[in-house]
Amino acid sequence: MKYDVIVMGAGHNGLVAAAYLAKAGKRVLMLEAADEIGGATASVRAFKEYDALLSRYSYLVALLPDQIIQDLGLNFETISREVSSFTPYKKEGKDFGLHISRVWDKETEDSFIELTGSAHEGKAWQEFYSEVEKFAQKMAPTFLEPLRTRREMKTLIGQDSTWEYLVEKPMAEVIQSKFKDDLVRGVVLTDALIGTFASAQSIQSNICFLYHLMGNGTGEWKVPRGGMISLVNELERIVQSAGVEIRTDAEVTQVSTDSVGVRVQTKKGDSFTAEFLLSNAAPAHLDRIRGKKSESALSGSQIKINMLLRTLPRLKSGADSRRAFSGTFHINESYSELEDAYVTAAKGEIPKHAPSEMYCHTLSDPSILSEELAQQGYHTLTLFGLHTPAELFETDPESSKKIAVQRCIDALNSYLIDPLESVLAKNSDGSLCIETKSPLDLEKDVRLPGGNIFHRDLTFPFKEEGDAQIWGVETDDPRIFICGAGAQRGGGVSGIPGHNAAMAVLAKG
């Protein structure tokens, strides 16, 4: 056989797997269905008349272990944000904002007191997140090791009460017991919901929370310098120098295995054989190609809005826009608003008070703009709207998208002096520089099943007793492994399933 391993899909995880395998001496072929590699880690010139390279889908990085960057020799940098988050709110007819710095400081403390009238919530915040960070520091390194069982993981971490509230009981319980303020509760809850259609009452929200807080043991979400494309470019450089063959416009449509190896066929009719197949495609797509029935999974539940601005809008609260938008800017994300939005969406309606969060990449990293645009004060904004599951868009995709976008804009505008429409850049035909991706668009553009950004429901990063999985990448066929977000410990921009699938293959000799 010409190849040892075929990797189906060249998202960042497929590239990570290929890099580890090729560096270990394996002959690797990558088959990517799209014209470009990178999958959901793409950057594009979304508005053709402007030289601005936006991270079209994923936009911040926390989960990619430093170890992978070092092992592969990636020249990829992420930038810390001084402001962690800013949440505008109204009290007695006036506008304010809850400012939270990345490192606890006087401004943060005062901001909590301004919101709640006492130091209690600020103290509770520091205690809670220091427990979570201790937990993360023990759990994160295990992501690049064979799976532990639930019991082994609990013993390793050794924080039984934290384990109880982060793993065993729904997030609602710990949030309600530790925090009293609805807005503060909401800021905590958002990390349990991003990309996941769940209520705080569901254990699914705990899993999502763990993924969002575990990255590199700190859970810090950083800005990729140069945008997401810089990660893909670096991975491409590494795999090519290691001799990996990449074919684009090569959708795999058939896979079969026997005692000798695996054979794949592409839509164009080419066929290839190898000892092993790694699937970077979502498990549901792999099942379909293999003619198998898939487990049911949650669909995606977010809309992503990418924008180019002539200038940053001013805030009614008087806060400096350059600081407020550099962190995560929460809109309609109090605890009760999030829970109400979930209930409304679950009934099949687009939430009226659309919860979303937003950040400005160019405040941390102007390199994604041409010098000319940067000098003129242009900025990008990335909005991620929650609780908008794929089902809400099915009957009338375009009208539903318009409604969802308008609700997000209206919510944001209620905190702005300058309405968003007045600061958005315009194309020469007068249209505004704003693009929206619904879950249905994500299915069509990047093959995410139902628009699920994690390929399927996230699962805890440990296994139950009796589970035969070793790396969380194994399938029912010993020649086929999952190397993408759909593996256990998979979702997000992490490279972890790519690394783990490569380790599973290398263990076979």
Binding site for ligand FAD (CB under 6 A): 8-14, 31-34, 39-41, 57-61, 63, 251-252, 280-281, 285, 304, 437, 442, 446-448, 453-454, 484-485, 491-493
> For residues 41 and 334, which CB has a smaller minimum distance to ligand FAD in the complex?
41
DSSP structure string for 274-315: ESEEEE-S-HHHHHHHTT-PPPP-PPP--EEEEEEESSPPPB
Minimum Å distance from CB 331 to ligand FAD?
17
CA distance 146 to 507: 11
Contact 275/261 with Cβ under 8 angstroms? Answer: yes
Angle, helices 12-23/229-241, rounded to nearest 10 degrees? 30
Minimum Å distance from CB 208 to ligand FAD?
12
Minimum Å distance from CB 502 to ligand FAD?
13
> For residues 63 and 174, which CB has a smaller minimum distance to ligand FAD in the complex?
63
> For residues 42 and 324, which CB has a smaller minimum distance to ligand FAD in the complex?
42
> For residues 15 and 315, which CB has a smaller minimum distance to ligand FAD in the complex?
15
What are the phi and psi torsion angles at 30 (to 5°)? -110, 135
Minimum Å distance from CB 57 to ligand FAD?
4
Minimum Å distance from CB 136 to ligand FAD?
15
DSSP structure string for 58-93: ---BSSS-HHHHHHHT----EE--SEEEEEEEEETT
CA dihedral over 177, 180, 181, 184, signed as positive or negative: negative
Contact 37/248 with Cβ under 8 angstroms? Answer: yes
In three-state secondary structure terms, 380 is strand
> For residues 57 and 378, which CB has a smaller minimum distance to ligand FAD in the complex?
57
> For residues 183 and 252, which CB has a smaller minimum distance to ligand FAD in the complex?
252
CA distance 8 to 290: 13
**Shortest CA distance to 290 belongs to which of 257, 341, 254, 242?**
254
Minimum Å distance from CB 452 to ligand FAD?
9
Distance from chain centroid for Cα 78: 15
Minimum Å distance from CB 182 to ligand FAD?
26
Using CB atoms within 10 Å of the CB of residue 158, give its burial: 0 to 12 exposed, 13 to 18 middle, 19+ buried. Answer: exposed
Minimum Å distance from CB 61 to ligand FAD?
6
Contact 209/192 with Cβ under 8 angstroms? Answer: yes
Contact 150/132 with Cβ under 8 angstroms? Answer: no
> For residues 122 and 385, which CB has a smaller minimum distance to ligand FAD in the complex?
385
Q: Which residues pair with 263 in a beta bridge?
A: 256, 273
Q: What is the dihedral of CA 318, 319, 325, 329, to 10 degrees?
A: -90
User: By Cβ distance, which residue is nearest to ligand FAD?
Assistant: 11
Measured CA to CA in angstroms, residue 494 lies from 67, 177, 327, 503 at distances of 11, 32, 21, 15
Minimum Å distance from CB 383 to ligand FAD?
10
Cα angle, residue 472 at apex, residues 469 and 476 outer, rounded to 5°:
60
> For residues 69 and 113, which CB has a smaller minimum distance to ligand FAD in the complex?
69
> For residues 35 and 258, which CB has a smaller minimum distance to ligand FAD in the complex?
35
Residue 17: both structure tokens together: 């797997």
Minimum Å distance from CB 365 to ligand FAD?
14
> For residues 17 and 319, which CB has a smaller minimum distance to ligand FAD in the complex?
17
> For residues 269 and 509, which CB has a smaller minimum distance to ligand FAD in the complex?
269
CA dihedral over 403, 408, 411, 413, signed as positive or negative: negative
Residues 6+ apart with CB under 8 A from 506: 20, 21, 24, 26
Minimum Å distance from CB 142 to ligand FAD?
18
Contact 8/276 with Cβ under 8 angstroms? Answer: no
> For residues 5 and 63, which CB has a smaller minimum distance to ligand FAD in the complex?
63
Minimum Å distance from CB 8 to ligand FAD?
5
CA dihedral over 362, 213, 456, 300, signed as positive or negative: negative
Minimum Å distance from CB 211 to ligand FAD?
9
> For residues 147 and 174, which CB has a smaller minimum distance to ligand FAD in the complex?
147
